[in-house]
Amino acid sequence: MTTTRAKATATDDTDRTDDVTIAYVGGGSRQWAPALIRDLALSDLNGNVRLYDANHESAERNARFGNWVQDREEAVADWSYDATETPAATLEGADVVVLSTQYDPTETFVHDLDIPKEYGIYGAVAATIGPGGIFRAMRTIPLYREFAAAIREHCPDAWVFNYTNPVTFATRALYDEYPDVNAIGLCHEVLGTRSCLARYAREHLDVDASREDVSVNVKGINHFTWVDEARCNGVDLWPLLEDLAEREEARQEFTAEDLEGESVFVDNWQVTWELFRRFGVLPAAGDRHLVEYATWFLQGGRETLNRWGVKRTGSDYRAKHWSPAESDQTTDVEAWMNGEREFSLESSNETFMDILTALTGDGTCVTNVNLPNEGQVSDLQSDAVVETNAVVRTDEVTPVAAGGFPRPVRGLVRGHVDTQETIVEASREGDLDAAFEGFLLDQQVRTLSPDDSRELFAELVAAQEPYLDGWNLEDSAVLAESSAYPGE
C-alpha cells in the first residue's frame, strides 16, 4: 500500500538528486534545528535550508550556526543556510518542509501541568494527551491548518516532516486541511525501544547488536505504540522478553528518594514490563509517556507515579528548559560558535537523514512513521494518524501492514483515537464546545465529576486564551456556564 507519493525530483538517469531545498518552519528551534544542521553536514546530500521562525532573531542565529558548521573541516556535504522573513518566502518551491514549533512554555506548558494538578490529575508530561496535551493540541492545530494551506499554495508536492508534539494531532491537522499533503510525523520513542532491545540481546544472548540490528512489528498511535514481534539479526527476542518480564529487575518499586537527582527522562521500564505481563504485547514508548495513556498508573498522584519509577516533568523544568542558560537540554549554539563550549560534529542518530536519503534515490529505508491509517493498523478507523513501520524509497513511503491488537489494548488505543479525532473535527469550525466533548472523552479527565471537568476546561482556556486563535470562545456555552472563565 502506497500512502503518499511526492513529485519526481530526480535530475538524471540515476534517479538521484543532490540539490535539495529544505524549508524549516520553526527554524529558530533550540534542539531540532541544530541537530538537523549537524546531520546535514555529515550527509551525502547538498542544498539550501531556509529557516523561518516567528522569532526572526532565533532563525538568524541558527542560519549563522549552519553556515559556521559548513566551514568546519569535518563537514562533508555542501549546504547553505538563510533566515527568511515570511512563511511564503520560506516554502516557495521547497522540496522538503520541516515543522518544529512550540509556544513559550512559561505561558502555556506551565498551565498544562499546574492547573490539572489542582483537580487531582497528576500528569507526567502533559505533552501529547490528557488535559495538558489536549490544550497543546488546541494551540497547535489552527496553526498547522495554516501551514497546510500554505504548503498547498507554495510547494504542494513537498515532503513534509512534522516533529511538533502532539505529533498525532499536528500531523492529522495537516491532512485534514490538505488531504494530498505528503506529511510524515516523526518521533524517536520506538527507536529508543529498539536500542533497549539491542542492549538486552547483548547482555543476555551474547549478541553484538545495535539498534539497526533490531526489527520490530510496531503499531499504535504516537507515544502509545506496541510491538508484537521483535528480532535481532533474525533471532526471535520474544522468549527472552517473556523471561525478563518475570525477573526481579522487571518488578521493582521506587520511591521519591530513589528518583531524587534523576533526570525527568529516566526510564526504568517498570510500566513497560507491567503492561507486557498484562496484555502480552510490548509497549514501545517511554514509561513517562505510557502512563498518560494507560492512566491507572497516575492514580494516587506523585507516590504512585514514583512507585513505577517515573519522575514527573514539572512546570519548573518546562520554564528552565526554555532558557539555554539554565537548561542542559537546550542547545546553545552561540556557546559553540564563540568557543565557550567545545563543539563536535556528530550525528543525532535520528532517522530524518535516512528517510530523506532514501526519498531522493539512494537505497531503501525501513523505519517507524506516523501516517493516516489506510489499513496498516487493521482495527483502528481509517484516516486516523497511526504509527507503524514504513518502507521508504525514491519518492515513495509505503506503510507496512502491522495487524491489530488484543482486545484490551485495542479498547485503550481506540479511546484515545476518538479523543484525537473529535478535537480535530471540532477545529474545522473552531467549535470550542465540540472540543470540550473530546476533552470529556480523555481517560484522565474521566476521573473528574461533570462540574470539575467543565471548570478545568474553562480554567485552562482562561489561562491560555491568547494562544487559542481559531477557536470561538465568545459563543461557547461551556464557558458561559463556568465560573472559572471570566469572559469580557
Q: What would the pLDDT profile of 57-76 be if each residue is shown by its tens digit? A: 999 999 999 999 999 999 99
Model confidence at 14: pLDDT above 90: no
Bin 404: left if φ > 0, else alpha if -120 < ψ < 50, else beta.
Answer: beta
Model confidence at 400: pLDDT above 60: yes
pLDDT for 123: 87
| Nine cell digits for residue 238 | 520474544
d(CA 375, CA 396): 17
> What is the rounded average pLDDT of the residues 429-434?
98
**Active-site amino acid positions:** 188
pLDDT for 6: 44
- The pTM score is 0.94
Q: What would the pLDDT profile of 132-148 be if each residue is shown by its tens digit? A: 999 999 999 999 999 99
Model confidence at 170: pLDDT above 50: yes
Band the pLDDT of 328: cuts 50, 70, 90: low
> What is the rounded average pLDDT of the residues 383-410?
97
Q: Are 221 and 385 in contact (CB under 8 A)?
A: yes
> What is the rounded average pLDDT of the residues 38-57?
96
Band the pLDDT of 104: cuts 50, 70, 90: confident
Q: What would the pLDDT profile of 253-305 be if each residue is shown by its tens digit? A: 999 999 999 999 999 999 999 999 999 999 999 999 999 999 999 998 889 99
Q: What is the dihedral of CA 43, 48, 54, 58, to 10 degrees?
A: 60
Q: What is the mean pLDDT of the chain?
A: 93
In this structure, of 346-350, 366-370, 383-387, the range with the lowest mean pLDDT score is: 346-350
Band the pLDDT of 321: cuts 50, 70, 90: low
Residue, of 313 and 268, whose pLDDT is higher:
268
> What is the rounded average pLDDT of the residues 83-109?
94
Band the pLDDT of 326: cuts 50, 70, 90: low
Quickly list H helices, 341-441: 352-359, 407-427, 432-441
pLDDT for 283: 98
d(CA 100, CA 347): 19
Band the pLDDT of 324: cuts 50, 70, 90: low
pLDDT for 317: 75
Identify the CATH assignment for 4-103+133-187+348-399 out of 3.30.70.270, 1.10.3720.10, 3.30.2130.10, 3.90.1820.10.
3.90.1820.10
DSSP 377: B
From residue 245, give the alpha-carbon distance in Å to each of 113, 242, 249. 32, 5, 8
> What is the rounded average pLDDT of the residues 95-123?
93
Count other C-beta atoms under 10 Å from residue 2's C-beta. Answer: 11
Band the pLDDT of 331: cuts 50, 70, 90: confident
Q: What would the pLDDT profile of 235-245 be if each residue is shown by its tens digit? A: 999 999 999 99
